[in-house]
């Protein structure tokens, strides 16, 4: 078993909470994991990407080879398209539709997504809205993780345990809200399938 995930977003959007939840989940299960992330200059509103690799066998490279990612999980629509070269022909894209516009000339992407959806499996989800509806606008990233979970080869219960261990220091209420957001995201993807 292996799942190679490209996590994408814009500096400050907190994609690392997704990585941390999956990391904790993988560690609990004694899976092997490597997760390369972006620090430093790009964190100032630049594009950020994290390579997250989980397997039941040792992993060599911290970076995913091109054409080998099983999943692109992006918390921002344009960012979901930036790393397409990593995506396996059998891979999937799960992306938030809420735009992060900190630049001029943000392109219209509807046509691109339509074209692309003929070739690869794409789930487009308004995670910000779903997070709001589920009572915690800050839990958008957990909605995204839930929406992506059907494409990740780790059992849902284990991912939820990972979410719990990441948020437990912030109290039970925060844990519950994030787990709720996870379920809302997952339900969205399953309804689409």
Partner 1 sequence: MQTNNFTNMQKSLLLGVEAIGQAAIDAGISGVYAYPGTPSTEITEYIQNNKLANSRKIHHEWSTNEKTALEEALGMSYAGKRAMACMKHVGLNAAADIFMNMAITGVNGGLVVTVADDPSQHSSQNEQDSRFYGKFAMIPVFEPSNQQEAYDMTYAAFAFSEKTGLPVMMRIPTRLAHSRSGVIQQPVMPENNLHFPENPIQFILLPAYGRKLYQSLIDKQDWMVELSEESTYNNYFEGKDKSLGIVCCGIAYNYLMENYPDNNCPYPVVKIGQYPLPKKMLKRLEQQCDELFIAEEGFPLVEEMLSDFFEKGTKVSGRLNGALPRRGELNPDHLAKALGKEKVQPTSSPNILVGRPPSLCAGCGHKDTYEALNEIIAEVGTGRVFSDIGCYTLGALPPFNTINTCVDMGASITMAKGAADAGLTPVFAIIGDSTFTHSGITGLLDCVVEKTNINIIIVDNEAVAMTGGQSSAAKGRIEKICEGVGVDPTHIRLFVPLKKNHDEIVSVIREEMTFNGVSVIIGRRECVQRIAKLKKLNRTNKEV
- By the criterion CB under 8 A, which residues form the site for partner 1? 1, 10-11, 19, 23-24, 27, 29-47, 51, 56, 59-63, 65-67, 78, 81-89, 102-103, 105-107, 109, 112, 119-120, 153-155, 169
Between CA 188 and CA 192, with CA 189 as vertex, the angle to 5 degrees is 90
Q: How far is the CB of 75 from partner 1 (least distance, A)?
A: 14
Neighbours of 36 (CB within 10 A): 15
Reading phi first (left if > 0) and then psi (alpha if -120 to 50, else beta), residue 164 is in: alpha
Q: Which of 118/191 has CB closer to partner 1? A: 118
For 55, the enclosing helix (H) or strand (E) is: strand 47-55
Q: How far is the CB of 190 from partner 1 (least distance, A)?
A: 19
Q: How far is the CB of 47 from partner 1 (least distance, A)?
A: 5
Q: How far apart are CA 33 and CA 17, in angstroms?
A: 16
Between CA 59 and CA 35, with CA 19 as vertex, the angle to 5 degrees is 30
Q: Which of 47/129 has CB closer to partner 1? A: 47
Q: How far is the CB of 193 from partner 1 (least distance, A)?
A: 20
Q: Which of 166/181 has CB closer to partner 1? A: 166
Q: Which of 123/130 has CB closer to partner 1? A: 123
Q: How far apart are CA 162 and CA 109, in angstroms?
A: 33
């Amino acid at each position: 078993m292996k799942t190679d995930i490209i996590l994408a977003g814009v500096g400050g959007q907190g994609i690392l909470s997704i990585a941390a939840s999956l990391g904790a989940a993988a560690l609990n299960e004694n899976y092997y994991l490597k997760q390369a992330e972006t620090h430093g200059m790009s964190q100032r509103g630049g594009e950020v990407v994290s390579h997250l690799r989980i397997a039941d066998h040792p992993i060599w490279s911290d970076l995913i080879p091109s054409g080998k990612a099983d999943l692109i999980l992006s918390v921002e629509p344009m960012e979901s398209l930036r790393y397409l070269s990593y995506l396996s022909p059998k891979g999937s894209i799960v992306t938030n539709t809420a735009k992060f516009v900190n630049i001029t000339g943000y392109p219209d992407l509807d046509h691109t997504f339509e074209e692309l959806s003929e070739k690869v499996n794409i789930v487009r989800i308004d995670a910000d809205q779903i997070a709001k509806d589920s009572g915690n606008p800050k839990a958008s990233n957990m909605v995204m993780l839930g929406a992506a979970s059907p494409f990740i080869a780790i059992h849902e219960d284990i991912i939820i345990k990972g979410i719990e261990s990441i948020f437990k220091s912030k109290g039970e209420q925060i844990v519950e809200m994030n787990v709720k957001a996870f379920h809302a995201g997952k339900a969205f993807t399953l309804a689409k399938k």
